[in-house]
Every structure is written in C-alpha cells, then in structure tokens.
Amino acid sequence: MDFKDKVALVTGGGNGIGRATALGFAARGARVVIVDRDAAAGEAVAGVVRQQGGEAIFVVADVTDSKSVQAYVARAVETYGRIDCFHNNAGIEGKIATIADYDEAMFDQVIAVNVKGVFLGLKYVLKQMLAQKGGGAIVNTASTAGLMGSPGMPAYVASKHAVLGLTKTASGEVARQGIRVNAVCPGPIDTRMIQDLQKQLNPADPERVAATYQSSIPLGRYGTAEEVANTVLFLCSDLATNITGAHFVVDGGRTSTPGAVTSMNK
C-alpha cells in the first residue's frame, strides 16, 4: 500500500482511529491533512508525522459547520494542491439512555456530528475530487452499530445506519468518475470512546464492563485503532480498485456470531 505523491485528509485525526489512520498514511508516503476540533491533539499528530520525516498540516474545524468544512478542504488544496484520499472519520458516541429517556439536545448533537458532519465532508471533498478529474477514494467511519440495534444508544445507532446510507448513495453517484466510496464498521475498539462508555455503564468498576463485553467477542478482546486504520488504508489503496459502495466489518467476529452479540447494558 504505497501512497507516495498522494494527499490524504483525515477528520477526527487527533485521536483514536483517525490518529492511527493519519500516521498510517504518512508512514506509507502520503502528505497528510489532519482535521480535528482538539487543536492540541491534532497538532501533536502532525508533529509526530513531521518528526518521522513526513509532511503534515493540522486544521482545526467543526465538522458540523459548512464554512468550517469548506475551509479545511480549501486549506488542503492550498497546501498540497489536491485531495486523493479522505477518511471521513469524526464522530461522537453521546450518552447511554433508552429512547424514552434520551435527551433531545444530546440526540441532535450526535446526529449533527455523525451524520451532518459526514454529509458535509462528502459534499465538499467530492466537489474537489470531481473538479480534479483524477478519481479518489473515500472511507466513511460507520460502526457495527450501523448494522444492528444497541439498546441504550439510539442516537449513535441511528447515526451510523445513516452513514452507511450516505456511503451507498455517494458511491453510486461518483463511481463513473473514478471515485470510490466505502465504509468501515468497527466493533468495540480500545479507544477513548469505549472507555467513556464503560464509565457511563459502571462508574465504580468500568473494568468489569470491559471484561464482560470482551468475553462476548469471539477473539476475546477489543480491537485496536491500528487494525481499523489498516482496513481504511487498504480501501484507499490501489489494491481495492474494484471495491465501492461496500462496508467492511472490523469487530473480532462479534456480529458474525449471533451468540456473541451481547448488549453493554446487560
């Protein structure tokens, strides 16, 4: 997977899966544009890339704001001339509560980041890729929550189902222009998000939640951010030139084995 002379843009690139993807692109020769609302984290990742001899810039942005999204696209093009690969990754998990008790403002926030943010990223990056007339590859971050229900996480589940719908729609619109659009569906990954969910479920003993949840995964452990990043890199590479409109599950076998699917709420 060689990305020499390619430009890769990653939203949510300051932490977790986005950070791993940004570093993975850079290690394989890409010039990287890291986008995040966390300026310190984003600058730190760009610094790591530069320390390792790569090229990277950081752009602080609110993915729910159209002008902010247009600005990160413009900065990427201004700096590197084009966008070849886009990991449309920024997302939040929200709070755990049943639909009957879910806070409306929190629902709106999750949908804004996870759905509108993905839509705006697609809208303005696709405009740029189409103008370049050179094709491109996009990977949206969905989730196994986009493939099934998860009691207590209505906003997150709804948002990730929507990401898969946007992925399929976009792929059909731009395939003839040489642009591929796919999605990655991580299961439980050892990042801040899963740690926060564990704390919400059992503030006194989050490790007990972790042990219970990992026991329901056939591989017996959480995945790593790097394992998801490797799938993203594959889908953006020339090894995947006949793949578009697809979703790839990275979950240790959790969704493929019905008896392994256990709600975190139990």
- Give the pLDDT of residue 259: 58
- Give the pLDDT of residue 263: 44
- pTM given for the model: 0.92
Residue 98 backbone phi and psi in degrees, to 5: -70, 165
Q: Are strands 85-88 and 7-11 parallel, antiparallel or unpaired?
A: parallel
- Give the pLDDT of residue 217: 86
Buried b / exposed e along 222-254 (16+ C-beta atoms within 10 A): bbebebbbbbbbbbbbeebeeebbebbbbbbeb
Is residue 156 flagged as an active site residue?
Answer: yes
- Give the pLDDT of residue 258: 59
Q: Which of 72, 102, 124, 156 is catalytic?
A: 156
Query: Under CATH, what is the fold of the domain 7-260?
Result: Rossmann fold (3.40.50)
Which stretches in the chain have pLDDT values below 70? 258-266
Each residue of 45-100: pLDDT tens digit?
999 999 999 999 999 999 999 999 999 999 999 999 999 999 999 999 899 999 99
- Give the pLDDT of residue 131: 97
